[in-house]
Amino acid sequence: MSLIRKKIGKQGTWASALSLLFVPILVLFAFRWLIYEPFVIPSGSMEPTLKIHDHILVKKYSYGVRLPFGEGWLLNFSQPQRGDIIVFRYPENKKVFFIKRVIGIPGDKIEVHGGSITVNGEFWPYRAASADDVDENDPQFRYFVETSGGTEFHFIKFGAGPDRVKPEVEKFEVPKNSYFVMGDNRDQSRDSRFWGFVDHSLVVGKATVVWLSCERTLETAPMICDPSKIRPLRVFKGVH
């Protein structure tokens, strides 16, 4: 009596191999499209809230479901609010991603004097930051905590004067489906004061957490943190 081995067709073998290869890729793509997407902070325009080489997660479903490629939304169920920190496509080069804080929403009338803000006639007050308000102090900066609608968040002004960037009072009215955004590092941020408003179709999502942070990255892999230069106090720190 002989045993007959059941033959496995090449079609079945290839199907299994392809599923092992592509299913994880599709799951990762779906996660980045619908849930969270990682970004790395490249500049100091959002200091002290976000520092260079902070690795953040952006919640993609904060405002809806975006088209998988390009601009626009498949489903939109909320809008960015004043104080939200959002990632968006830079209006002047949509291949580049920016991160800023929302200052004005559609219909808002905004006045900016240096780094000071008035929205719809309401001045956003600020106080000098204490040692407990910031992770570290750089003597070349002056640190402040700003208040809007009962919510406090950090921003800084560089050097001695609050009017370093543009000393004159600037007035803006936010158009429909658009947002006025600024960096928390008010004197070292190119934002809506310079290039205008962010259309809602360009919004990617809301920054939620710093999951990794370091003083520098590896020379051979600029997107990877140098393990010897991790900032432990910023790991898994919420973004506000």
Tens digit of each residue's pLDDT (9 = 90 or more) over 136-161: 667 778 888 999 888 888 888 776 54
47: tokens are 């200091």
Q: Which two tokens stand for residue 189?
A: 């941020």
Could you give phi then psi for residue 203, rounded to 5 degrees?
-70, 130
Does residue 27 have a pLDDT over 60?
A: no
CATH topology of domain 37-238: Umud Fragment, subunit A (2.10.109)
Provide the 8-state DSSP code for 234.
Answer: G
Closest residue by Cα to residue 76 from 55, 61, 56, 94: 61
What SS3 state is found at 185? strand
Average pLDDT, the chain: 84
Closest CA to 98 of 181, 216, 14: 181
For 50-55, what is the mean pLDDT?
94
Question: 187: helix, coil or strand?
Answer: helix
Whole-model pTM?
0.83
Q: How many helices (H) and strands (E) does the chain have?
A: 2, 17
Interval 30-57 mean pLDDT: 84
Domain ranges in the chain are 37-238
Q: Is the pLDDT of residue 38 over 80?
A: yes
Q: pLDDT tens for residues 173-224?
A: 999 999 999 999 988 899 999 999 999 999 999 999 999 999 988 888 877 8
Enzyme catalytic residues: 45, 100
Q: What is the DSSP letter of 167?
A: -
**Measured CA distances, 92 to 73, 163, 184 (Å):** 20, 26, 21
In three-state secondary structure terms, 101 is strand
CA triple 42-89-230, angle to 5 deg: 25
Range name among 4-8, 90-94, 173-177, 236-240 with the lowest pLDDT average: 4-8
pLDDT score recorded for residue 154: 85
Q: For residue 80, what pLDDT band results from cuts at 50, 70 and 90?
A: very high
DSSP letters spanning 32-90: HHHTEEEEE--SSTTTTTS-TTEEEEEETTSSEEE-SSSSSEEEE-----TT-EEEEEE
For the CA atoms of 111, 115, 116, 118, the dihedral, rounded to the nearest 10 degrees, stands at 30
| pLDDT tens digit sequence for 96-133 | 999 999 999 999 999 998 778 999 999 999 998 887 77
Rg (CA), the chain: 23
- Checking if the pLDDT of 16 tops 80, the result is no
